[in-house]
Structure 1
Amino acid sequence: MGKSTGFMEFDRQTLKERDPAERKHDWNDYTIPLSDEEVQKQGARCMDCGVPTCHTGMELEGVTTGCPVNHLIPEWNDLVYKGQWKEALRREHLKNNFPEFTGTACPAPCEGSCVLGITDPPVAIRTVERSIIERGFEEGWVVPEPPERRTGKHVAVIGSGPAGLAAAAQLNKAGHWVTVFEKNDRVGGLLTYGIPEMKLPYEMVIRRVEILKQEGITFKTNIEIGKNYAAEKLKADFDSVIMCTGATVHRNVQLEGRELGGIHYAMDFLHASTKSLLDSNFDDGNYISAKGKHVIVIGGGDTGTDCLATAVRHDCESLVQFDVYDKKGAIRDEQGNPWPQYPKVHRVEYGHKEAAAAFGEDPRAYAVMTKKFVGDEKGNVKEVHTVNVKLKVDAEGNRIREEIPGTEKVWKADLVLIAIGFSGPEQDLIQQMDVETESNSCVKAEYGKYTTNSEGVFAAGDVRRGQSLIVWAINEGREAARECDRYLMGATVLP
């Protein structure tokens, strides 16, 4: 695959980035495409490794390894190297309905399991993936492909995030009439309102949705099943239903002062910011502004990073991100995090770079645990009190965080964003759909089958598995569509 000596001749190169000091003033895509020649060199780095692991999605000790949609990565790397871009696009779409989403916002566990990555920087798989699909759109190769026949069956998909879109796309290919219901005013779920515009532009979502519409899929926005469309009526109106509503119940912090004004969930902050931007370029004022504020982000993950980038663009006064974990090393720990697991290493993401450009240093504070919030006389947060912690293992083998005496600190803050993930799906719809749940509150539906206890009702994505990656959502949406097709027709034509 690729050029037999390519991994020795060419250095790893990912998408270029605009200058952080400049891009922090706008909401445009922060990346810059590589030239075709540069992408071909990255494809050439894909070595003839014999038994590639990049495309084999699995979970090892709870860590995603390889690509959950089983992307034909070595094949399209080779095709790009040879200049066969259109065939590379066809190979991309065989396993992934939306390579533009994964090529933009997936953390690329495929690269973590790249064989070349054992000794050298891995192949820039995500960069090649996005370059192929963008070339496809530019050349006009991505066109509507409606099914040649219709089965007469009608399927409702609840939720228009990556799982819902993937399920809808596959069911439509099988010839079923598909209607996607979205509770928000725009299609895309967290693709639209959970990932900021400069990281995943809404135009990228809507151009794909327009193709799906032309292929025959119906989208209905501002409809929340169980509220303005009864769940029982939905089950009566459609031959089958697939629940793809995500896991959107925020994890909270139960601390003194949590009720103070100015403390928000990260996703509420991101959602309102994106909606106001798309609706009016912020002229309507319907968002949580960070302008002139001392901002603290609690949580060291991707959502926290998105909050950093958004707050910088709002022109905040100061910015700190708390990470309860120690700073990771530059290389993976071969004992606790061996290849081919996704490498747990220190990363400097786009939001960190932009915060550093704005304030002169990386915004992260490590091994910090929040103790309480203190407010002013008006009931708004003014301080966050913290202490440093170290991770220990007790006599029973439990991992605990021990406070370090003398490390107490008070931070000035008038906007606090909680970005510590989600605990599970909303329960109202689950109860109205009369489906059983697991102990973690997610819908009970076996992986690979996706059937619930309610006849004709399936569940896929985060609502079934809990908070996870875009690529897992696409995997489950595709597979749930296959099982739904089997249910409706007695056999299935879907992969």
Structure 2
Amino acid sequence: MGKMTGFMDFERQSEHYEAPLTRVKHYKEFVAPLTNEEAKTQGARCMDCGIPFCNNGCPVNNIIPDFNELVYQQDWQAAIQVLHSTNNFPEFTGRICPAPCESACTLGINSDPVGIKSIEHAIIDKAWENGWVKPQLPTHKTGKKVAIVGSGPAGMAAAQQLARVGHDVSVYEKNDRIGGLLRYGIPDFKMEKWLIDRRVEQMQAEGVTFVTGVFVGKEQLDPAIKDYSQKRIDPDELLAKYDAVIISGGAEQPRDLPIPGRELKGVHYALEFLIPQNKEVAGDTKNGIDAKGKNVIVIGGGDTGSDCVGTSNRHGATSVSQFELLPQPPQEENKPLVWPYWPTKLRTSSSHEEGCSRDWSVATKRFEGKDGKLEKLIGVRLEWKDGKMSEVPDSEFEMKADLVFLAMGFVSPAQQILSGFGVEKDNRGNAKATVEGSKAYHTNQPKVFAAGDMRRGQSLVVWAIREGRQCARAVDEFLMGTTELPN
């Protein structure tokens, strides 16, 4: 621990944001990492709290007090070694993780928590700047071959871990570029995609092979999911060629809203808007949905909805509104009740700050339009009592709408992948596999493992990295009878 009274002497220092009026004019990141001195001060705020609840609050179990102390001492090179010991991709989590570790910070019981996420962001950016992030080549080759289906954070983490212990790893991705939902589900203004490319280069140097434009399954994807594959490979081919297969695709099956008018032109799933936009920013095909001059309504109050808000503002939408089915959360959490767990409270994202009208306890009854084109949304107010909702009498209203984006979450991964491998599913449509014991991450198929969204359903990038790492350990033990990979 650096400064004994640091948590009393210093206030939380947030990262620096570009002003909303200027950042909506571009798709680049607008958050600047802490300076050396700011990061040192934040590190000094870390308490000698005895039990570091932040470690358990972090899904990858980052050793947070240790790297906070090292940043306070300005030993950045040791700090990145500690950070990389639990997290393959801190540049991803340091930008887009919601930081459950901070909710678990002991200082947060009666004060502002340590800015753990901002410290992580500063550590990894400095490490890349100084050339400390290098390929870690295996000391020997095992002769075993592993295929990974899906190149999101779970697949990338598993691939890197397995390559570093000497296995020959091939990653198959249905899109034309690596990254999965990191690449195409998250806007560039939250995480620029050269960050993924840089890691891909490192992993290629470590021996990982990436195969893009290939969908693995016995049939093509459901029409509800955009399929950018150039060719299809039968799962049996992979099973015959490789000693083990990990399926680690994202949860891309969106939740629909089957109400009158759903078929009108102008009503879209969120990813039908976000994926083409990321492709346009990358210099590929132009986004076929243009929000410029449109009245946009986003249905769903989560991160995907927020991404639609930010992207619509960058298009130049006339108005952007967001509806949430649930009641408005409290401004502040009840800390004595919920700490150290993730609290329910009102969260305002950077996209909301750029311009958005938000409303809660609203249900959409129908869409109306003319000549097959959306013109308005008909909604109704809700009353919540004992966890159940009912419509408020005579509360129906209408709003002008040129575009509606459905961002109500994702129900499951692509079923065609699971069915293609003959993997047993749980009651939510995910791959059925436990995370404990000798069969950890193992499906009912002898050579098939599952990790990330494919196993747990829609979740956070940090959970995907955790599952990818743990699944890699399970596969290594399956192939070799023992493993040195961390749990």
- Calculate the TM-score normalised by the size of structure 1: 0.93
Q: 1:149-188 counterparts in 2 under 5 A? A: 149-188=140-179
- What is the alpha-carbon distance in structure 2 between the residues aligned to residue 299 and residue 224 of structure 1? 29
Amino acid at match of 2:334: D
The partner residue of 2:449 within 458, 464, 476 is: 458
3-state SS in 2 of match to 1:322 = strand
Distance in 1 separating the partners of 2:286 and 2:62: 42
The within-5 A match list for 1:36-435 is 36-56=36-56, 66-226=57-217, 228-280=232-284, 284-334=285-335, 338-355=338-355, 362-376=356-370, 378-393=371-386, 399-435=387-423
Alpha-carbon displacement from aligned partner over 1:294-318 (angstroms, at most 9, x marks no partner)? 1000000111111100000011111
Q: Over residues 425-465 of structure 1, what are the superposed CA-to-partner deviations in whole Å (9 max), with x where a residue is unaligned?
A: 11111111011111111111111300011111100011101
CA offsets 1:401-425 (integer angstroms, 9 cap, x no match): 1111232210100110000000111
How big is each residue's C-alpha offset from its partner over 1:67-109, in whole Å with a ceiling of 9 and x where there is no partner? 1111000000000001010000000000000111111111100
Aligned to 1:359: none
Preserved contact between residue 322 and residue 368 of structure 1 (Cα < 8 Å):
yes
Q: For residue 330 of structure 1, report the CA deviation from its aligned partner.
A: 2.2
Aligned counterparts of 1:20 and 1:314: Cα–Cα separation in 2: 14
Q: Distance in 2 between matches of 1:287 and 1:143?
A: 40
Partner of 1:63: none
Aligned Cα root-mean-square deviation (Å) = 1.1
CA distance in 1, matches of 2:197, 2:288: 22
**Aligned mates of 2:261, 2:462 — CA distance in 1:** 37
1:276 and 1:287 in contact (8 A); partners too? no
Cα deviation, 1:194-213, whole Å, max 9, x if unaligned, reads 00001010011111111111
Distance 1:305 1:415 in 2: 15
Task: Supply the distance in 2 between the matched residues of 1:246 and 1:353 (Cα, whole angstroms).
Answer: 28
Shift of 1:487: 0.6
8 A Cα contact 1:3 1:44, kept in partner: yes
Output the CA distance in 1 between the equivalents of 2:184 and 2:62.
26
Counterpart Cα distance in 1 of 2:2 and 2:463: 27
How far residue 327 of structure 1 moved from its aligned partner, in angstroms, is 2.1
Distance 1:334 1:116 in 2: 11
The residue aligned with 1:20 is 20
Measure the CA separation in 1 of the matches of 2:394 and 2:287.
Answer: 42
Separation in 2, partners of 1:369, 1:172: 48
The separation in 1 between residues aligned to 2:149 and 2:135, in whole angstroms, is 23
Local SS of the residue matching 1:272: helix
Aligned equivalents of 1:256 and 1:131: distance in 2?
A: 49
CA distance, structure 1, for counterparts of residue 462 and residue 244 of structure 2: 24
Query: Do the aligned residues in 1 keep the contact of 2:273 with 2:287 (CA within 8 Å)?
Result: no
- Counterpart of 1:483 (choices 447, 470, 474) is 474
CA distance in 2, matches of 1:329, 1:2: 35
Cα distance in 2 between the residues matched to 1:239 and 1:14: 47
In 2: Cα distance, 1:391 partner to 1:193 partner: 35
| Larger CA deviation: 271-280 vs 456-465 | 271-280
Q: Distance in 1 between matches of 2:204 and 2:180?
A: 17
- Cα separation, 1, equivalents of 2:330 and 2:119: 27
The alpha carbon displacement at 1:494 in A equals: 0.7
- Residue 60 of structure 1 is matched in structure 2 by none
> Structure 1 unaligned runs (5+)?
57-65, 356-361, 394-398
Q: How many residues align?
A: 470
Mapped partners of 1:70, 1:285: distance in 2: 40
Q: Once the 2 structures are TM-superposed, how far is the Cα of residue 41 of structure 1 from its aligned partner?
A: 0.5
2: distance between equivalents of 1:268 and 1:42? 40
Aligned to 2:226: none
Task: Verify the 8 A CA contact 2:279 2:286 in the aligned structure 1.
Answer: no
Within 2, Cα distance between the matches of 1:453 and 1:326? 41
CA positional deviation for 1:287: 3.0
- Matching residue of 1:3: 3
Task: Tell me the equivalent position of 2:227.
Answer: none
Instruction: Quote the Cα distance in structure 1 between the aligned partners of 2:484 and 2:234.
Output: 31
Structure 2 contact 34–119 (Cα < 8 Å) conserved = no
What one-letter code is carried by the residue in structure 1 that aligns with 2:314? Answer: R
Rounded Cα–Cα distance in structure 2 between residues aligned with 1:363 and 1:385: 16
Map of 1:34 onto structure 2:
34
Answer yes or no: is the 8 Å Cα contact 2:276–2:286 preserved in 1: no
Structure 1 CA distance for aligned equivalents of residues 8 and 413 of structure 2: 47
Equivalent pair of 1:115/1:122 in contact (CA under 8 Å): yes
Contact 2:139 2:165 survives alignment (8 Å): no
Query: Cα distance, 1:241 vs. partner?
Result: 0.3
Tell me if structure 2 keeps the 8 A contact 1:43–1:128: yes
> Residue 169 of structure 1: CA displacement?
0.6
Query: How far did residue 334 of structure 1 move?
Result: 4.6
Contact between 1:2 and 1:48, CA under 8 Å: does it hold in 2?
A: no
Identity of aligned residues (%): 47
Amino acid at match of 1:435: V
> Within 2, Cα distance between the matches of 1:70 and 1:287?
41
Paired letter, 2:67 = W
Query: How big is the shift at 1:333?
Result: 2.6
Runs of 4 or more, structure 1, over 4 Å off, are: none
Deviations 1:265-313 (A, max 9, x none): 1112100111122124xxx434311111110000001111111000000
Q: What SS does structure 1 have at the residue aligned with 2:381?
A: strand
CA distance in 2, matches of 1:445, 1:2: 43
Alpha-carbon distance in structure 2 between the residues aligned to 1:140 and 1:343: 38
Q: Residue 293 of structure 1 aligns to which amino acid in structure 2?
A: K
Q: Distance in 1 between matches of 2:335 and 2:19?
A: 34
Unaligned runs of 5+ in 2: 220-231
